[in-house]
A and B are shown apart, each in its own frame.
Chain A
Amino acid sequence: MQSDRGIFSAEHIISLCDLPVGKSAVINSIQAEGMTRRRMMDLGLVPGTRVEALRISPAGDPKAYKIRGTVIAFRREEGSKILVNLKED
């Protein structure tokens, strides 16, 4: 599988909003700034945290994620600012 870190990398970085339902990934970084960033970090979204995409609303947005034992919904607008490391299997 190709990735932006080269063919030898088994991991690649995607936006959380692009994480397919049923897959989990590990937070790489938060691109949001200011209060949105603070809010995300208060919800436990810090680098190294495992996130699972649980389901998608009928309209396609927002998506629900499981983070540290709690289900949290993010719109694409927010999810696009959270980068995650996705391991290929």
Chain B
Amino acid sequence: MGLTHQSCGSGVNREIFQRGMVPGAAYVIALAGNPNTGKSTLFNALTGLNQHTGNWPGKTVLRAEGKFIFQGRVYNLIDLPGTYSLLAHSAEEQVARDYLCFGKPDATIVVVDATCLERNLNLVLQVLEITAKVVVCVNLMDEAKRKNIEINIESLSAELGVPVVAATAREGAGLAALQQAVAGIADGTVKTSPYIVKYDEAIEHCIRKLEPKLKELVGEQFNSRWLALRLLDGDETVIRSLKKWLAEGTRVRAAAGGEILA
């Protein structure tokens, strides 16, 4: 594939870090969610002062990045733009989508609003179509309680097939449990079995035909079912993104996020 050893994922970064040679991040964690679900609040609560902002390459979309340490490991947290979808092609949605598919974070937290869960689950299912390494954070639990909305976290987790953690980011509640869940996904000790949307047989048939061809072209490194779906969607932006990521390596290098204070 012409990919360098270094560009192939976090395992490499982690080894280097553990040997103490490069003060890099051990794991890369993406933060996704609808707008206004408390993503920034959660990001700030987790990273404190260990953060910096800039733009996504070639876009006027804000990129916030920060670090936190949990049980001796460093986690580099990337705040993706808040979106309702990953498919409708605004600059924000493209950034989030491309990062999830091609950036291959070690785990993705999808923040959802406990007071309007149904609306938020659209994005959750779209993320699960791209990556299995997901933790759902049901935020604004205080608001839900105030509105007498009860959420069965266990059964939501069972339905979605990924860990689900309740939180009130503004009060810092649930953060330790969230970090624990993220750690399990990132280091691979927790395996998920995500709920995957099944399409009409006609579409599934096309997916089965396309997937092997896609695997021939790009190998196993990207989610070929998802790529097949995008091609069936007639989505040309995804082809452009794929070419770009293949040329530049599979991972956007995490820019140094300042000193670690923790």
> Which residues does A use to contact B, with CB under 8 Å?
35, 38-39, 42-44, 68-70
Contacts and interface: CB of A to CB of B under 8 A. Distances in A.
Contact of A42 (B88, B115, B116, B118): B88
A38 B119 contact: no
B87 interface: yes
A53 B89 CA distance: 28
Nearest to A43: B84
Contacts, number: 25
Interface string B101-137: 0000000000000011011001000000000000000
Contacts of B47: none
A38 B85 contact: yes
Interface of B: 84-85, 87-89, 115-116, 118-119, 122
Nearest to B234: A34
25 contacts: A35-B88, A35-B89, A38-B85, A38-B87, A38-B88, A39-B85, A39-B88, A42-B84, A42-B85, A42-B87, A42-B88, A42-B122, A43-B84, A44-B118, A44-B119, A44-B122, A68-B116, A68-B118, A68-B119, A69-B115, A69-B116, A69-B118, A69-B119, A70-B116, A70-B119
A70 B117 CA distance: 11
B91 to A, nearest CB: 14
A52 to B, nearest CB: 15
